[in-house]
Amino acid sequence: MPYCFLQAAVARPLLSLVFGAKWQAAIPLVEILSIGLAFDAVSWVAGALLQARGEFRRSLIYSCVFSPIFFGMVTLGALYFSGLGVAVAVSVFYVAFAPIYSYRVFLKMGVSLGEVAAIYLSPVAFAAVAALLAAFLGGLVPWGDLARTVVIGTAGSIIYLVLVWLFAPSIFHQLIARIRAMRPFSIRRVAVTGEA
């Protein structure tokens, strides 16, 4: 979630840096699609859970229900508003329907609507604040697109972590524990045993 929002914040300086003026028209599309991706990414866990439980029929039913809605929205967006309409349609679909999909999948495990909402609401709020503040700070940088990209990415990550630390300390401690667990085995072994 935070990195999808930061991707939206960093799209303008990064695409300008890499492609120059050639891809300027794509910047709003990347920004809009990045926000939609944040909501879609959360639902990947629900999809993986369906697969792990062997509920392939249920997965097919969800696809049959959601696919016509998705393609209908995208078609209307394309017909009336071109590429921008498609990007908005895709993002609106994921913002509206990914939480519904997640809720329907997790409901079988006894997860409440409030618990599913919590999966989305706090991270969205933290990520949006972090991305907006980082974009503001990046806009203050006078040294070009590379510096703006670095400032937005770094500041946004730090601001997000601080917000999680302040307002969701249990999640912060889980995150730190996962980061520590991701260190390569050989580094941990050298640290513990002194072996090279």
> pLDDT tens for residues 75-122?
999 999 999 999 999 999 999 999 999 999 999 889 999 999 988 999
Judged by DSSP in three states, 144 sits in coil
- Cβ-in-10-Å burial (0-12, 13-18, 19+) of 82 comes to exposed
Give tens-digit pLDDT for 64-76: 999 999 999 999 9
What tokens were used for 156?
């946004």
Whole domain around residue 51: which residue ranges?
2-193
Strands (E) across 43-123 are located at none
Structural domain count of the chain: 1
Count the residues in the chain: 196
Quote the pTM value: 0.84
